[in-house]
Chains A and B, each alone.
Chain A
Amino acid sequence: MDFTPIWISLRLASITVIVLLIVGTPLAWWLAHTQSRSRAFVEALVALPLVLPPTVLGFYLLILLGPAGTIGSFWVELTGNTLTFSFLGLVIASTVYSFPFAIQPLQTAFEAVGKAPLEASATLGASPFDTFLRVASPLALRGYVSAIVLAFAHTLGEFGVVLMVGGNIPGVTKVISIAIFEQVETLTYDQAHYFSLGLLIFSFTVLFGVYTINRRMPINRT
């Protein structure tokens, strides 16, 4: 039995989560603290992947990342490779697709921390970045855990966007959900069972673990 789809899925989900944390944390911070009028606009934009069918998202990404698209053509010029039907293209697509799942828990957590501890930290001589690292982030730990888990799980479970942008190239873009789809289509139900049950157990275990940790986490702000 071929286990590479599992590894590709895990690698894709891990890298996507890392990218989302790097890009998403400053954005979530900005959304939580800004008074700017553009906030509602950005929030709506971030939430789009929640409501759009994956095919719509996949369609636009395909156009954007394809060799004729703005980003895609630039990439071809730069590296000679296409973004579509590559692992990197998948990472970009997954990041867009899972964006709200990372941003929203972080934003909620930063809003819950509020301005009070940040002001206290500033009056104790901590710079804004110091305050972010040593005060805001530990207090928003639950938000980080939720963001990581939700984005990871959501990326593992994606299908439509991956199929449209990444296709089904064994060893490159064939992730677990696509492998299952293929197995069902080719009527190899026993293999589909392995992957499906595996994914089910894995997802449940992770979520169960997170909820348990969340409950026990020392910070219980009221």
Chain B
Amino acid sequence: MSTLSLHIKLDLDHFGLRISEDILLDGITVLFGPSGAGKTTILRIIAGLENRATGSVTLDDTRWQNDKAKYFLPPHKRQIGYVFQDGRLFMHLTIAKNLQFAAQRASSNTLTVDAVATALDLMPLMHRNPESLSSGEKQRVAIGRALLRDPSLLLMDEPLSSLDTKRKAEIIPYIERLPSDFGIPILYVTHNVEEVTRLASHIVILSKGRVVANGGALEVLERTDLMPLAGHLETSAFLQARATEHRNGMTTLNIGGQSLRVPGTTITTDTHLRLRIQARDVALATRAPEGLSIRNILRAKIISIDVVDEIFAEILLNVGGQPLLARITDEAVNDLKLTVGQEIYALIKSVAIDTGLIS
């Protein structure tokens, strides 16, 4: 596990950036925030491409920038890989030569072109020119090329933003596997909620040039106060679960001893999953309900009641040690006489499963 220590300041005409943060790099750390928040600028500062920023950038004990010591390591001497939003393949070189370009300049050759090309399924493309590739293929080549540079940190700047849904679905599994396959931590910039929930092990949320949250994915995603920043993100909670068995076309998921049943049997048993449950899909009952079509009922305890506005309240629940959010009306809160610490039943109408494994 590495730590990226960022203490940076940048003032431009229309935009100011102030970051003083230690960012834990383990698996995929997502830098999330609305456009214009400064996400790309931060990546560029880390890579050394933005020399107007002042302050210091340090990865573990490797110094990349330290203004006090008048030290600025130029980008080509930093052990970073950078996957740009638009891929930026060299148009005058074939795919094989694009990859070799990076391999030839790598400080050590722990990875071979063939190994990377095989892992990313680039072998059939090796003799093609970049312009003949689809946008998804280009991004896979760009990822391979960045890996071959043998980086100690891989920076990815919205690598999927130029792709349509189908192409995204093709490439996401490759990105998911990178940290475990190549042992390189990733700092991943996106403003897409799906990518966050799918990929993040750590999350840093950025707003108007400031960090507003920095921590483990589950912990950050549950903070309801951050939700306006996520824009269109419906308030959701994330539960870790384990698939235990298939029966009657349904899969049983174990959540801290309690179980949920979801349709479909495509999930391999014994795998760990992350479930996303939207707050509006959770109803509450003070007694064990009967005669309901909803089968998924979890016992929970109320941690907090947060009145969002004149109509709705958000109830934070503890489900066997994991947080769950319910969005109900203020009226219901009063009628049911809900109080903090109360034992309650959470009725779950729908569950979204992130196929990404979390451990």
Chain A positions within 8 Å of B, measured between CB atoms, are: 116-117, 119-128, 130-131, 134-135, 138-139, 141, 218-221
Contact = CB atoms under 8 A, between A and B. Distances in A.
Contacts of B296: none
Nearest to B49: A119
A218 B149 contact: no
B145 A124 contact: yes
A139 B92 CA distance: 6
B105 A123 contact: no
Interface in B15-53: 47-49
Contact of A124 (B74, B92, B101): B101
Contacts of A124: 76, 101-102, 105, 145-146, 149
A218 B129 contact: yes
Contacts of B81: 123
Contacts, number: 70
Given A116-B84, A120-B82, A218-B129, A125 B92 contact: no
A122 B76 contact: yes
B176 interface: no
Interface SS of A by simple majority: helix
Interface residues of B, number: 27
22 contacts: A117-B90, A117-B91, A119-B75, A120-B84, A120-B88, A120-B90, A121-B90, A121-B101, A122-B49, A123-B78, A124-B146, A126-B76, A131-B76, A135-B90, A135-B92, A139-B90, A139-B91, A139-B92, A141-B92, A218-B92, A218-B129, A220-B131
Interface in B177-224: none
B88 A219 contact: no
Contacts of B350: none
Given A116-B84, A134-B101, A218-B129, A123 B47 contact: yes
A126 B102 CA distance: 8
B298 interface: no
B88 A116 contact: yes
Contacts of B121: none
A116 B86 contact: yes
Interface string B215-256: 000000000000000000000000000000000000000000
B290 to A, nearest CB: 61
B88 A117 contact: yes
B75 A123 contact: yes
A125 B90 contact: no
A73 to B, nearest CB: 44
B80 interface: yes
B106 interface: yes
B161 interface: no
